[in-house]
Amino acid sequence: MRKVTLKKTLIIGLYFGIFQAGMLLIGYLAGSLFASEIEEFDHWIAFALLSFLGIRMIISGLRKKEDDNEETSLHPKKMLPFAIATSIDALAVGVSLAFIGENILPAAVIVGLVTLMLSMIGVRTGNIFGLRFRPFAEIFGGLILIVIGVKILLEHTGSL
């Protein structure tokens, strides 16, 4: 088992926490300015990004790994697609909060902090079980991302 440092755990948590809170704020601002234009296509963006990342994870899980001890990259090129894809729904929530006139700052802080903490817990848990269950976890995680994308698409198109 690789040791994941507190610093790496915090960095990953910050990526997801900041993007969740940030997308909530961006959605709120966009909802206040151009709600009808965003609502028309936000679900398609979420579906496309989540499906793309999910398919990549499934392919990665199916490939035989030469070195399962490789260090996970925290480079923005690797982390940003996941942070963005998993926070697209927060954009839609921000738009919704703008419609009802909710105070966005407390909501964004709470969402960001909860996401930070849960992401850190997930990284630690994943480190414990990751090497043993990595291929299965990647395939399952990829399927989950695709299902979330489909769910968002169906909810927004009125099919669910």
pLDDT per position as a tens digit, 4-57:
788 999 999 999 999 999 999 998 998 888 766 666 777 787 788 778 878 988
Report if residue 73 sits inside a domain: no
Number of structural domains found in the chain: 1
- pLDDT (mean) for 53-70: 73
- pLDDT (mean) for 86-99: 80
Report if residue 34 sits inside a domain: yes
Report if residue 130 sits inside a domain: yes
- Higher-pLDDT residue of 159 and 104 is 104
Report if residue 153 sits inside a domain: yes
Q: Which pLDDT belongs to residue 57?
A: 82
Report if residue 27 sits inside a domain: yes
Burial 8-35 (b: 16+ CB within 10 A, else e): bbeebbbbbbebbbbbbbbbbebbeeee
Report if residue 1 sits inside a domain: no
CA–CA gap between residue 88 and residue 154 (Å, rounded): 15
Report if residue 127 sits inside a domain: yes
Q: Which pLDDT belongs to residue 85?
A: 80
Q: Which pLDDT belongs to residue 145?
A: 84
Tell me the range of 1-15, 22-36, 71-85, 104-118 where mean pLDDT is highest: 104-118
Report if residue 70 sits inside a domain: no
In the chain, % of residues over pLDDT 70:
88
**Can you give the residue range of the structural domain that contains 110?**
6-65+78-157
Q: Which pLDDT belongs to residue 119?
A: 92
The confidence band for 141, taking pLDDT boundaries of 50, 70 and 90, is confident
The confidence band for 158, taking pLDDT boundaries of 50, 70 and 90, is confident
Is the pLDDT confidence value at 69 over 70? Answer: no
